[in-house]
Amino acid sequence: MIRLIKTNLIHLTFGRFFLIAAAAAIFLGCYGGCSARDYGFNMTHFVFLLLICAALTLLNLGREHSDGTVRNKLTLGFSRASIFFSLIISSLICSVVLYLLMSIPYFVIGKPEIMRFMSTDRLVIISLIILADCLLITVGSAVLALCVPRLPIAATILLAAAIGFGIAEGSLGNRLGEKKWNIVGVWDPSLSMHIEHNEQNPFFVSGTKRTVYTTLYRLDPYAQMRMVDRVMTWYSYGVIEDVIDRMDEDFFTGGYEFNGEIARDYPYLPLYSCSFMAVLMIGGVLVFRKININ
């Protein structure tokens, strides 16, 4: 497999697609760093990095079928599993390089503003979350490119998945962000005034259902970037601890559980990405071993 990985890396890193992606990553890092230095962290730049990683992986591995490279490797005696995992590992290495090309100038240039309210260890955690998200997107794109021989179909599925993740983030985020209590005003004729009291919100998600929704939300790559953006905003205002402390202050105002859960649990997001990657790779290799390669 090491021989395959070396061959793949030479083929991938010296291709025009990778060089264009590398130039785009450096530009994003420098431009985003200048923006972060003036206005603080902005997740938009890293969302573009995810799109670059996805497009590069899809284009590079999509050619493995169209150029007959996969078929040639099979005739040389390599197993389908070794071909699959060698291409996955090669793509992951390329994405790590792109991440470094962007993140290093981004955080170096934007350091004065980003580090004002954030410790180094917290910044490392944030960086690992973004890196894990990039790797998750890379694995998903690679599995699609290898398991769907026709590149246009794979690209369409990837685009649909991206839209689906965005919709899921909004839907799940809205449900999880529902207040536990609603303040309701009732007219009291005897006092000639409205009396406010609290009623439990019927749309508030709790129990096992909340656990399932929270897990699905944290598995969503786009939702992870949204959570990073929120955490960085809280750090920039110096209120991250307050967000956690106010989790239980829901009786009179409500709605703090969701933000508190994000502020408390965001360091564990890379574990969700790694779990999602493992599922994608296991399912991908099972499908790749069965598809017809011409």
Identify the band that residue 270 occupies on the pLDDT scale cut at 50, 70 and 90: very high
From the list 50, 63, 77, the residue with the least C-alpha distance to 11 is 63
Boundaries of every domain in the chain:
2-158+267-288, 175-266
- Give the whole-angstrom CA distance, residue 167 versus residue 116: 34
Q: What b/e sequence results for 154-163 when a residue is b if at least 16 CB atoms lie within 10 Å of its CB, and e otherwise? A: bbeebeebbe
pLDDT tens digits along 47-91: 999 999 999 999 888 887 777 777 888 788 888 888 899 999 999
pTM: 0.86
pLDDT at 216 exceeding the cut of 90: yes
